Amino acid sequence: MSDSKVRFADRIIDGKAFAEGLRERIGAAVSGIEAAHGLAPSLAVVLVGDDPASQIYVRNKGRAAEAAGIAAADHRLDAAISQEELLTLVASLNNDAMVHGILVQLPLPDQIDPAAVIDAIDPAKDVDGFHVVNVGRLASGQMSGPNAAMVPCTPLGCRMLLEDRLGDLTGLEAVVLGRSNIVGKPMAQLLTQANCTVTVAHSKTRDLPDVCRRADILVAAVGRPQMVQGDWIKPGAVVIDVGINRVPAPTGDDPDKMRLVGDVDFDAAIAVAGAITPVPGGVGPMTIACLLANTVTAACRQNGIDTPAW
């Protein structure tokens, strides 16, 4: 453990511990749903090709689902599969009442248009929250009822960590650094709905450090290793570091060794911030936990069952 982590241990937001607690709550909810309604929430995960990182991620999802009592079925397809064949599989999963959540692991091979595949998923089963219908529902604030938005997993996890640390977010100034469809944009929507004043910043924002320094909440999701420096952070601000970047960390025994870092210079930031998520062990574990929560939510909505409050 680094000196900074020891000195400022109370400032670290332990996403791993929070995710473990969330998975326990999910498991309890699944047991209750099965007992009361005879329903076993299920997730179909589609993996095309043999990308090593995707294989590890899918395997971890399957293990986490199984531990929570969620039935997870992997559909592993050859990298040469045609788009038509993949869309046929998605259609069959849409029509299968025993499947409550569908996740197609990205990236996909070059011959397949990811937007076409995402658009083919039934929005009610889109546990990634990427379908344009769910994007629209989130943007319009449709967050309750049977046709509520499915929220992308990583921003959902970030919001949970923020509310756990800060409670009511009303009136706080938030800066989201990054404007991706997967994290930045939905994160900004969630913070807006939490009554924050939200600025979406990016690499082309003028005076970017000054913009970041205004933030009571800074969410870094730009994909650049250690881009955010300590002097970019308002003293006492809460920093959520979404970045996962591999950078060289050579040693005498292993000159090719790599290590994971976030989009924030952690050692510099933790001396200034009021709280911060580490990398690894911060946002990452929340993504899979929120995928499981979304699967249970989808199963409940599809069967007219009250949705658990996570």
89 and 170 in one domain?
no
Q: Is residue 61 annotated as a catalytic residue, yes or no?
A: yes
192 and 79 in one domain?
no
186 and 280 in one domain?
yes
Q: Out of 105, 189, 226, 302, which one is annotated catalytic? A: 105
**Spatial CA neighbour of 274 closest among 160, 188, 172:** 172
Q: What are the DSSP E strand ranges found in 133-252?
A: 173-177, 197-201, 217-220, 238-241, 245-248
Q: Is residue 105 annotated as a catalytic residue, yes or no?
A: yes
Q: Out of 128, 216, 241, 263, which one is annotated catalytic? A: 128
pLDDT in tens, the chain (310 residues): 678 888 899 999 999 999 999 999 999 999 999 999 999 999 999 999 988 888 888 899 999 999 999 999 999 999 999 999 999 999 999 999 999 999 999 999 999 999 999 999 999 999 999 999 999 999 999 999 889 999 999 999 999 999 999 999 999 999 999 999 999 999 999 999 999 999 999 989 999 999 999 999 999 999 999 999 999 999 999 999 999 999 998 888 888 899 999 999 999 999 999 999 999 999 999 999 999 999 999 999 999 999 999 9
Q: Which of 82, 117, 140 is the last residue of a domain?
A: 140
165 and 108 in one domain?
no
Q: Is residue 128 annotated as a catalytic residue, yes or no?
A: yes
State both tokens at 238: 């809460």
> Is 258 among the domain residues?
yes
Total domain count, the chain? 2
pLDDT tens digits, 171-183: 999 999 999 999 9
158 and 136 in one domain?
no
Which secondary structure element, helix H or strand E, spans residue 190, and what is its range?
helix 184-193
- Which pLDDT does position 270 carry in this prediction? 98
DSSP-assigned letter for residue 106: S
68 and 126 in one domain?
yes
Q: What is the CATH number of the domain that holds 116?
A: 3.40.50.10860
> Is 83 among the domain residues?
yes
125 and 197 in one domain?
no
- Which pLDDT does position 51 carry in this prediction? 86
**β-pair partners for 175:** 199, 218
> Is 303 among the domain residues?
no
- Which pLDDT does position 1 carry in this prediction? 63
280 and 181 in one domain?
yes
186 and 248 in one domain?
yes
251 and 178 in one domain?
yes
141/133 Cα distance (integer angstroms) = 12
Q: Out of 61, 125, 185, 234, which one is annotated catalytic? A: 61
Q: What is the CATH number of the domain that holds 239?
A: 3.40.50.720
60 and 116 in one domain?
yes
Domain that holds residue 223: 154-286
